[in-house]
Structure formats: C-alpha cells, structure tokens
Structure 1
C-alpha cells in the first residue's frame, strides 16, 4: 500500500489531456490528468464516469448547456450521456471509469 499524490502525478505527465492510471477499485480505473484549456470532442460511455476536479475548473457540456465543475467538486456523467469538455477547462482532473483499461 502507498499514498499517491495526485497533483504530483499530474505535474509529472508529459502532455495535457493524457491520463495516467493510478489505481483500480472493483474494476474501475482511477486516472489523473491535466486539463489544457482546449476543448475536447463529444463522447459517450456505456458505463457511468465520475469526474473529480482537484484544482482549477472543468467546463462540461451536457444536453446543450455548460456545467462548471470546480475544485473539490465531483460530477457523475450517467451512462449513455453525450458530454464534452468545453474550452477554458484547466487544472487537475481525476476520472473514475468503470471497466476502463489502463494506458
């Protein structure tokens, strides 16, 4: 067992928007990444995805509206829901993805 400093992991990543798996719990991948401010294309997942903002702000677009998720906040995207990251999202993001494989 070890303690993982997620901000340290994110700071050590070579590129923004490239995640690193830091653990798994009951089949769910726990990944950390740095957001760059650039938007990402829409995506849909078969299973729910939890998004935890450690620092900064995630601007998430769902159903045509923008939802800000701020430092210390968690949002769960329901399975089958189209969503995308809007421009201006910056900081450190932790993803919890059921059934996600490591990269």
Structure 2
C-alpha cells in the first residue's frame, strides 16, 4: 500500500460524509471521509467497524450514551450495534471495516 495522507485525501473529497475506499489489508477495508459538524443518521452493520479520528472530533451516540472520540483515538463498534453521529463532529475520520 502506498503512503497515505488521510487529511489531504479527505480535504480533496467533493462531499462530506461520503467515504472513499483507500484499500484493503487482509479482510479489513480502509476508508476515509470528511466530517462537517452535521449529524449522521443511525446505522447498524453486519461487520465490526473501527472509527479512527485523525483530526477534529467524533461525537457518537450508542444507545443512550454519548461518546466523544478525539484526534488520535479510535472507537470500535461491534457488528450489530446501532450507532449515530451527533452534530458537532468535524475533521477527518478513517473507517476500518472488518
């Protein structure tokens, strides 16, 4: 895999909250997106999802709990877990799907 500058790639994306797939390492798919302060609706996946904040912050709602993920931190969402992004999330997010 080539050298990837997640922030630079995210800055070039035409739309916020639309990820682009960068590659795959084993079974893990690696994607990047740009967050823009808007909320994103609740979703559930049949795979595990790692949400790695490269810059800014991610505000997640898991059930009734709000979780703040700061730059340099990653939250692991187990398969089958409903999660939503709350308003105020901004920056660059790397998503690792397994």
Shorter-chain TM-score bucket reads over 0.9
Gaps of 5+ in 2: none
Residue 27 (structure 1) shift: 2.3
Number of the residue aligned with 2:31:
31
Deviations 1:54-97 (A, max 9, x none): 00000000011110000000110011111000011000000001
Number of the residue aligned with 1:80:
80
Number of the residue aligned with 1:59:
59
- Asked if 1:3 corresponds to 2:29, the answer is no
Q: Write the distance in 2 (CA, Å) between the matches of 1:31 and 1:68.
A: 20
Aligned residues: 98
* Structure having the larger proportion of residues in strand: 2
Gaps of 5+ in 1: 99-103
- Asked if 1:46 corresponds to 2:42, the answer is no
Q: Write the distance in 1 (CA, Å) between the matches of 2:34 and 2:77.
A: 19
Superposed CA RMSD? 0.9
Runs of 4+ with >3 A deviation: none
TM-score, length-scaled by structure 2: 0.95
